Amino acid sequence: MAKFEIIMPKLGESIIEATITRWVKNVGESVEEDDSLVEIATDKVDSEIPSPVEGKLVKTLFNEGDVVPVGTVIAWIEMDGEEGEKPAYEDVKTDEEAISEKEIPVEAQKQESPEKITNDQENIADFSKSERFYSPLVKSMAKTENISLSELEKITGSGRDNRVTKSDVVAYLDQQKAGGAQIQASTPAKPASAAKMSAPVVSSGEGDQVVEMDRMRKLIADHMVMSKQVSPHVTSFIDADVTHIVNWRNRVKDNFSKREGEKITFTPIFIHAAAQALREFPQINVSLDGYHIIYRKNINIGMATALPSGNLIVPVIRNADQKNLLGVVKTVNDLANRARINKLLPDEIQGGTFTITNFGSFDSLTGTPIINQPQVAILGLGAIRKQPRVIETPEGDLIGIRHIMILSLAYDHRIVDGALGGKYLKRMKELLEGFDPETQI
């Protein structure tokens, strides 16, 4: 019988590991091709690993709750076929050995001396004394690059709960090469953040129901608190007359649905306008790295999407400024539909440079959204309501019924001032109010 390796797949450019949350198949069970084998989770998204072959699951190498690096063998499937001299899964190392061999470069393994092994053992002992979690990959990089535990402890982590990631270590090494070898309190690599406040003690009363947050809600909670601690939020508002847009959509939606087999909503129209405005105001399409401003080349707009579970996910429309309106509509519908059935790929919810959230979906007039780090601004869309408005005409002012909505822009006051935020909102208003009612789609 032939043996087939199941590998922890590449889950995205910046994702180096995933947590096994549940084995769908048990050892000894038969597996059909494309059957779900295991459920996994990253800081970005939950996913499943399907079986690429038909056979029987004969060995699992990790338990539920284990964090596994990308590229690591996690299980073996026995398939029909010629049996080798020795079952391949018997040669598999222990979990710790597998992780170490996958993560330490071959060159580094070849060059290890007895002295280096001794030092590695000492470093492992040092890690056990730390209260901070370090992934096997970070430990391996620290050993290879001779980064002491005391240095690691001073690195500001970009992962969940201040966790140090591969990119944090790489950034630290780059800083060393540039002459900033030490992270000192007197010359911080990044601006000091405000002291973290302790949450008040909360007691439950008789009859209260205490339910632990699910994993996604915990991630959302941590991300929101982190964002408020990192960025001084300011929110500006403007209203816009979107009567032309409402009338145009009402006129084309039925034919569009018959032709394309899907709906056309207001959200893609606003995303299309937001992308155009970002192209005119690139200072908002940025991120901050300490005191350095990163001007993003691409305009990748995330759209906050409510899930049936009550949680939130933010799929990303990449290069939104390069798509026509039909392209944005198609992309928005596809991402929103797959988000609701948990079929998004990890790469589809990262890399955003600006976010839009639609309060109007739930009939809210407006809101003050929280910035989706590491971005510096987020646009809120309010409900569209009929209101009496003054209409200026060559013959004089008139009162008419118009469709009005409120736009809210929350921005990071470290880099975006009120003038810039106001200019962006004003441009959004101009684009929406100037929408061509003869637009073809």
pLDDT tens-digit readout, 37-84: 998 887 667 788 888 889 999 999 999 989 999 899 999 999 875 544
CB proximity list for 256: less than 8 A, separation 6 or greater: 262, 263, 264, 441
What does each C-alpha distance from 429 to 32, 59, 241, 242 come to in angstroms? 54, 60, 8, 9
Percent of the chain with pLDDT over 70: 80
Q: Is 347 a catalytic residue?
A: no
For residue 108, pLDDT over 60 is answered with no
Whether 353 contacts 371, CB under 8 Å: no
Please give the average per-residue pLDDT across 177-197, as a whole number.
48
pLDDT for res 33: 85
420 versus 159: the higher-pLDDT residue is 420
Rounded mean pLDDT of the chain? 83
- Tell me the C-alpha distance between 206 and 241, whole Å: 51
Whether 331 contacts 322, CB under 8 Å: no
Handedness of CA 163, 164, 165, 167 (dihedral sign): positive
Kindly report the number of other CB atoms within 10 A of residue 309's CB atom: 12
pLDDT for res 143: 81
Strand, helix or coil for residue 375: coil
The one catalytic residue in 80, 174, 214, 417 is 417
Please give the average per-residue pLDDT across 276-299, as a whole number.
96
Q: What architecture is the 2-103 domain classified under in CATH?
A: Beta Barrel (2.40)
pLDDT in tens, 330-344: 999 999 999 988 888
For residue 234, pLDDT over 60 is answered with yes
Q: Where are the alpha helices (DSSP H) in 178-307?
A: 215-230, 243-260, 267-280
The one catalytic residue in 80, 254, 413, 436 is 413
pLDDT for res 121: 44
pLDDT for res 353: 97
Element (H, E) at 115: helix 114-129
345 confidence band (pLDDT: 50, 70, 90): confident
Instruction: Give the least confident one: 178-182, 224-228, 311-315, 363-367.
Output: 178-182
Please give the average per-residue pLDDT across 227-249, as a whole number.
97
Beginning with the edge strand found earlier in the chain, give each strand of the sheet holding 55-60 in spatial order: 2-7, 73-79, 55-60, 30-31
Q: How big is the chain, counted in residues?
A: 441
Instruction: Give the least confident one: 40-49, 198-207, 388-397.
Output: 40-49
Please give the average per-residue pLDDT across 394-405, as a whole number.
95
Please, what's the b/e burial string for 90-100 (b: 16 or more CB within 10 A of its CB; e: otherwise)? eebeebeebbb
Which residues lie across from 398 on neighbouring strands? 391
For residue 117, pLDDT over 50 is answered with no
The residue to which tokens 């630290």 are assigned = 172
Whether 435 contacts 250, CB under 8 Å: no
Percent of the chain with pLDDT over 90: 55
Please give the average per-residue pLDDT across 214-227, as a whole number.
88
124 versus 353: the higher-pLDDT residue is 353
Instruction: Give the least confident one: 127-131, 174-178, 192-196, 415-419.
Output: 192-196
For residue 326, pLDDT over 60 is answered with yes
Q: What would the CATH number be for the domain defined by 232-433?
A: 3.30.559.10
| Pick from 219, 246, 218, 441: nearest CA to 360 | 246
112 confidence band (pLDDT: 50, 70, 90): very low
Whether 102 contacts 7, CB under 8 Å: no
For residue 161, pLDDT over 60 is answered with no
Handedness of CA 37, 38, 43, 44 (dihedral sign): positive
94 versus 37: the higher-pLDDT residue is 37
For residue 199, pLDDT over 90 is answered with no
238 versus 195: the higher-pLDDT residue is 238
Whether 288 contacts 403, CB under 8 Å: no
For residue 124, pLDDT over 80 is answered with no
| Pick from 187, 202, 170: nearest CA to 14 | 170
- Tell me the C-alpha distance between 46 and 40, whole Å: 6
175: burial class by Cβ within 10 Å (0-12, 13-18, 19+)? middle
Highest mean pLDDT among 146-155, 170-179, 399-408: 399-408
pLDDT for res 126: 55
Please give the average per-residue pLDDT across 224-240, as a whole number.
95
Please, what's the b/e burial string for 368-382 (b: 16 or more CB within 10 A of its CB; e: otherwise)? ebbbbbbbbbbbbbb
Q: Domain limits of the chain?
A: 2-103, 107-177, 232-433
pLDDT for res 81: 59
- Tell me the C-alpha distance between 66 and 227, whole Å: 28
DSSP string, 162-188: G---HHHHHHHHHHHHTT--S--SSS-
pLDDT for res 128: 60
pLDDT for res 343: 87
Which residues lie across from 17 on neighbouring strands? 69
Whether 21 contacts 41, CB under 8 Å: yes
pLDDT for res 159: 65
- Phi and psi for 12 in degrees, rounded to 5? 150, 160
pTM above threshold 0.85: no
Bridge pairing between strands 301-303 and 354-358: parallel
105 confidence band (pLDDT: 50, 70, 90): very low
pLDDT for res 356: 98
Q: Is 272 a catalytic residue?
A: no
